[in-house]
């Protein structure tokens, strides 16, 4: 049975495809801001801190029988909390930012490991979140993914021009009367949500790959952030679906295959240069023409 036939017949694969497309929207949008703002390590810290939240939620769910406490709630709480701490340090104690990023990164992982060791039974769920298993997505997860996707898309559509100036020139944002601190926290909050969406498809360890590689490839083909976002979403969908098909054919883990596929295309894209030097009119030439008119 080939991949397309399997998709038609297998509801698990159908849900996995929907999850991949949903995650592609989030990572394409958020990843583009991560890449242009140069906050990749910050995003890595947020994504790894999620393990602590997941472990904590699983621990309380199993030990205290809190069945309503889904691991994803713990992940969301941990990522938003990390984003708030990092945002505070970035804005008010920037000289210590690197150290705090490293601290949150390791504390999150350490917390996850300790909670996992104290949780009875084999933590398959935690392993799925860590390494990614898109085939394990439930319909409730899809509803949550769709809602989080909507939040990200709506906020970015409404505040795009503000995020653009925040990423390009923070001083100008202040001069224009924008509340830079609030805007920065909002951006980090969106990254936190995006990370939670992505851990379903590729897992904590590979989140950075999907967040960073597609926008980094897209950046080579356009010099407009809005187009870079659209291209990143398309690339994310291609990598997710292509990786999923490959993983089905090769019987490899889906998350790892998706990431390797994206990384291979990224390496190939390094040969390309931005179009600005070939496809746009030279401003100098334009000025000379204006002068001669």
Partner 1 sequence: MIDVKDLSFAFEGNPVLKKVSFRVEKGEFIALFGPNGGGKTTLCKLLVGLLKPDSGTINLPKGIAFVPQNFAPDQLFPISVMEVVLMGRLSKAPRFGGFRKLDREMALAALKEVGLERSKDSCFSSLSGGQKQRVLVARALASEPDVLILDEAMANMDGSSIMSLLKMLKNRLFTILMVTHDLKAALEYCDRLLCVQGSVTPMSSYEVCQHFENGLYHRVGA
Stretch that binds partner 1, among 71-79, 109-117, 252-260, 279-287 (CB under 8 A): 279-287
Residues between 32 and 91 that touch partner 1 (CB under 8 A): 36, 38
- Encode 127-190 in three state secondary structure: HHHHHCCHHHCCHHHHHHHHHHHHHHHHHHHHHHHHHHHHHHCHHHHHHCCCCHHHHHHHHHHH
Burial class (CB in 10 A: 0-12, 13-18, 19+), 221: middle
Residues between 134 and 163 that touch partner 1 (CB under 8 A): 157-162
Least distance in Å: CB of 216 to partner 1?
Answer: 10
Closer residue to partner 1, CB minimum distance, 164 or 260: 164
Closer residue to partner 1, CB minimum distance, 62 or 159: 159
Q: Is 70 helix (H, G, I), strand (E, B) or coil?
A: coil
* Site size with partner 1, rule: CB under 8 A: 39
Residue of the chain from 177, 251, 271, 292 that contacts partner 1 (CB under 8 A): 177
**Site membership for partner 1, residue 178 (CB under 8 A):** yes
Q: 208 vs 135, 188, 250, CA distance in Å?
A: 20, 15, 24
Least distance in Å: CB of 224 to partner 1?
Answer: 6
Query: What letter would DSSP give residue 204?
Result: G
Least distance in Å: CB of 158 to partner 1?
Answer: 4
Stretch that binds partner 1, among 51-59, 107-115, 132-140, 274-282 (CB under 8 A): 274-282
**Site membership for partner 1, residue 274 (CB under 8 A):** yes
Least distance in Å: CB of 120 to partner 1?
Answer: 49
Calpha distance 95→222 (Å, rounded):
33
Calpha distance 46→80 (Å, rounded):
8
Least distance in Å: CB of 277 to partner 1?
Answer: 7
What are the contacts of 159-168 at 24+ separation with CB within 8 A?
A: 159/183, 159/186, 160/226, 163/33, 163/187, 164/225, 166/37, 167/33, 167/36, 167/37, 167/225, 168/36
Contact of 129 with 71, CB cutoff 8 Å: yes
Least distance in Å: CB of 236 to partner 1?
Answer: 17
Least distance in Å: CB of 177 to partner 1?
Answer: 5
**Site membership for partner 1, residue 9 (CB under 8 A):** no
Closer residue to partner 1, CB minimum distance, 65 or 285: 285
Assigned token pair, 47: 């994504």
Assigned token pair, 171: 């001083």
**Site membership for partner 1, residue 96 (CB under 8 A):** no
Q: Is 80 helix (H, G, I), strand (E, B) or coil?
A: helix
**Going residue by residue from 211 to 250, which x/- string records binding to partner 1, judged by CB under 8 A?**
--------x--xxxx-xx----------------------
Positions in the binding site for partner 1 (CB under 8 A)? 36, 38, 157-162, 164-165, 167-169, 171-178, 219, 222-225, 227-228, 274, 276-277, 280-281, 283-284, 286-287, 289-290
């Amino acid at each position: 049975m080939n991949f397309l036939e399997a998709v038609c017949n297998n509801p698990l694969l159908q849900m996995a495809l929907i999850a991949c497309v949903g995650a592609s929207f989030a990572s394409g949008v958020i990843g583009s801001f991560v890449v242009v703002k140069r906050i990749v390590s910050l995003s890595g810290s947020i994504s790894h801190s999620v393990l602590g939240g997941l472990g904590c939620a699983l621990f309380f769910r199993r030990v205290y029988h809190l069945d309503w406490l889904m691991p994803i709630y713990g992940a969301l709480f941990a990522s938003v909390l990390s984003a708030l701490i990092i945002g505070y340090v970035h804005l008010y104690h920037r000289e210590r930012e690197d150290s705090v990023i490293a601290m949150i990164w390791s504390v999150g992982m350490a917390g996850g490991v300790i909670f996992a060791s104290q949780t009875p039974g084999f933590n398959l769920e935690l392993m799925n979140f860590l390494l990614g298993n898109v085939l394990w997505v439930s319909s409730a997860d899809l509803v949550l993914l769709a809602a989080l996707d909507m939040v990200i898309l709506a906020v970015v559509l409404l505040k795009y021009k503000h995020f653009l100036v925040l990423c390009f020139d923070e001083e100008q944002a202040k001069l224009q009367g924008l509340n830079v601190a609030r805007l920065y926290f909002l951006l980090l909050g969106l990254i936190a949500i995006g990370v939670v969406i992505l851990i379903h498809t590729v897992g904590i360890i590979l989140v950075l790959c999907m967040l960073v590689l597609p926008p980094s490839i897209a950046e080579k083909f356009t010099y407009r952030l809005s187009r870079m976002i659209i291209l990143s979403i398309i690339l994310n969908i291609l990598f997710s679906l292509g990786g999923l098909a490959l993983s089905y054919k090769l019987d490899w883990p889906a998350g790892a295959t998706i990431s390797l596929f994206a990384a291979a295309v990224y390496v190939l894209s390094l040969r390309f240069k931005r179009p600005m030097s070939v496809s746009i009119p030279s401003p100098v030439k334009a000025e000379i023409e204006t002068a001669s008119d």
